[in-house]
């Protein structure tokens, strides 16, 4: 059997997949936080209109929601793959 699909390594594969999924999301979240901080600073400094900033923040909220959705989809896909692997391992149809 291929070592990548070895049932004994399922926990290790899951940890690696989860870590990879989180690292991308964490970078996106960190980038959004920095952008929001810049928007706030620009409003405070008078360099950005409050109405423009409000629209930008709405956009950031939408991006945040899509990042969360993307994480949920990845987690669901990972769980489905693990369930399928367990079914194959235990001969459940």
- Indicate the number of domains in the chain: 1
Alpha helices in the chain (DSSP H): 10-45, 50-90
Domain membership of residue 57 (yes or no) is yes
What is residue 21's predicted lDDT score, i.e. its pLDDT?
57
Structural domain including 19 reads 9-90
At 22-64, the pLDDT tens digits run 556 689 899 999 999 999 999 999 999 999 999 999 999 999 9
DSSP classification of residue 48 = S
Domain membership of residue 69 (yes or no) is yes
CB 33 within 8 A of CB 40: no
Domain membership of residue 1 (yes or no) is no
Domain membership of residue 31 (yes or no) is yes
User: What residue has token string 């990879």?
Assistant: 20
Q: What is the pTM of this model?
A: 0.62
At 56-93, the pLDDT tens digits run 999 999 999 999 999 999 999 999 999 999 999 888 86
> Where does the pLDDT of residue 7 fall: very low under 50, low under 70, confident under 90, or very high at 90 and above?
confident
Domain membership of residue 67 (yes or no) is yes
């Amino acid at each position: 059997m291929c070592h990548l699909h070895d049932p004994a390594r399922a926990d290790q594969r899951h940890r690696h997949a989860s870590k990879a999924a989180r690292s991308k999301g964490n970078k996106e979240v960190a980038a959004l936080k920095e952008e929001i901080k810049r928007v706030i600073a620009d409003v405070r400094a008078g360099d950005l209109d409050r109405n423009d900033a409000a629209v930008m923040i709405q956009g950031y909220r939408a991006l945040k929601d899509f990042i969360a959705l993307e994480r949920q989809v990845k987690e669901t896909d990972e769980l489905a793959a693990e369930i399928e692997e367990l079914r194959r391992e235990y001969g459940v149809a």
